[in-house]
Structure 1
Amino acid sequence: MTTPQPNYYDTPTQPRLLDVVRARMRTQHLSLNTETTYVQWIRRFILFHHKKHPRDMGSPEVEAFLTHLAVDRKVSSSTQNQALSALLFLYREVLAVQLPWLENLTRAKPRERLPVVLSKPEVNRLIEQLSGVNALMARMLYGTGMRILECHRLRIKDVDFDRHEITIRSGKGGKDRVTVLPSSLIPELKSHLLTTRKLHDEDRGKKVPGVEMPDALEKKYPSASTSWGWFWVFPAPDLSVDPRSGIRRRHHVHVVSLQRAIRQAARQAGIAKPATPHTLRHSFATHLLQSGYDIRTVQELLGHKDVATTMIYTHVLNRGGRGVVSPLDN
């Protein structure tokens, strides 16, 4: 038997449902990207059913929405599962409705696709078409195996030049890990940080509020947000308003700029493959395996929970066509 929940559409004094969703996600320290995505899917679900309250809907409505996404909107299985995850969060975490059909809903089976991997010459051609900070970030993605957001959110304190390593905080799944800092990247990165330090000092001189801090650290260590160690390795050139706190402060560079730059660089380099920042991560893993590093080491550097996820890169250990020699070549 379910516990009756307040109808957030009943009176003006009750908080709006989507505001309650946001508040619940923030208490669980979920990322802004996850918050934005989940709220979008919940809103679309409600609008699809003509603004009917989710508490008054059940399995047929959820299945109808997911079918609409797959059949009418032709979304991928991963997008369909993302929408389902948002609805599960709504019912379980916000409405506190435990219904059997939630557990019995079948997730769309994702298609098994091999990752797009660039050869070493292609990586070099791609990076040669980039300049400035975008070139540095691209080299870092390829040289460390970081995800694009992990690179953009990197803090000064997590770069260890002496040990040649980078600590990635709160990566996918909320876990920390350590990856390699390429020796060839150190001079360029140190030079970049000299410019970054000037920007940090300018902000302090102008009394700009400190950078965003994870979880409750801003209250626990009030001065940490203005310290050099917590400053972004790749800060944005301009100040912007924090969408959660409303504070005008220095954020890290936006991921879109690097995504666009890499797409354009791939075209200029004559690379037909659909290259993205994540392609450089795929190439990092593949080239390490080609060089003889064991699968467990690559798994740790990538931050994969299950080695089966890393195993997808072993396809490159064979020659083309799974190592088969074509009869045409004999």
Structure 2
Amino acid sequence: EPIGREGRGPEEWLQPDAVHPMPGDSTLLVDLGNGRLAVIGPDLTFARTRPIALGTPQPGRLGGLQFLLPRAVDAQGRAYFQGRALSMDGGAPPDSVPVLRTGLGRDAASADTVALVKPQDLEIRTSGGANERSVSARPRPMSPQDDWAAGRDGSLALVRSDGYYVQVLHPDGRVSTGPRVAYEPQRVGDAEVDRYTEAAANGLGVGVTVENGRMQMQFSRGGMRGGPQRRSREGFPDVLPPFVPGATWVAPDGRIWVKRYTRVGQPSLFDVFDGEGRRVAEVSFPGEVRIVGFGDGVVYTATTDDMGLQWLSRYRVR
């Protein structure tokens, strides 16, 4: 039986993008099309909603505004997301951004910074005049960036790009830093450029336009017409980074799964770290897969076939 229906009104969704477990057998739904988050109760009804936008925009800037797009939700119902800060005057992007934590109540209007991470390098472009300005940001492909994931207990795993290693921020304030992980750089070829381009075509899009002092935001994912356009090799590095951003998970047992960059046609490879940041295992899966969740002693993965269909698999974890 479907939950809600397509639309822009109450009990409706427009572009569901992600779900996260919440306390009390509830579920958090990220609805990009409506620009809001919806909490679905155990009776499968919409309990409450709140906007994705968090905070109040400052005149001519986005500095007072964040986009609450959760990467994780802990056992207390707090959402973790990566902060963004783009100035409307097209200024240089920051060299670090915060990992933020906030409650999900209707009245939650601010977030706490729990860590700082290096973001992907961006090329900023602006157009329009003072009262009608548009800002766009284009990422530099495969540029070094940190990754992170949050555990259900509120711990935070940081995968650092200034040398491949893992830091763990524990709920009691303790910080553990694991040793650097040696890896053999692999060459970037045409197949790797195509894979990156295809993934980018299905990436998140955030549009911000200011017209006569009024700000409008649009959120979407994918939908590039005619399929992804082939990118030239210009701007790509010669070798792959050590790990894939946005693919790190903290499993229920506290272990940290980091997806490695591999060449097209090779098995998908994950490094597994303990709660102190030490690598304890290496796990490979056939084909190009991504982790989508964990259960009791199992890991769920998804793969996309040539027709665009996604296949869900379950593997037992020892």
Same-fold call, TM cutoff 0.5: no
- Bigger relative contact order (CA 8 A; separation at least 6): 1
TM-score normalised by the shorter chain: which range applies?
Answer: under 0.3
* TM-score, normalised via structure 2 length: 0.25
Higher helix share: 1
* TM-score, normalised via structure 1 length: 0.24
Bigger Rg over Cα: 1
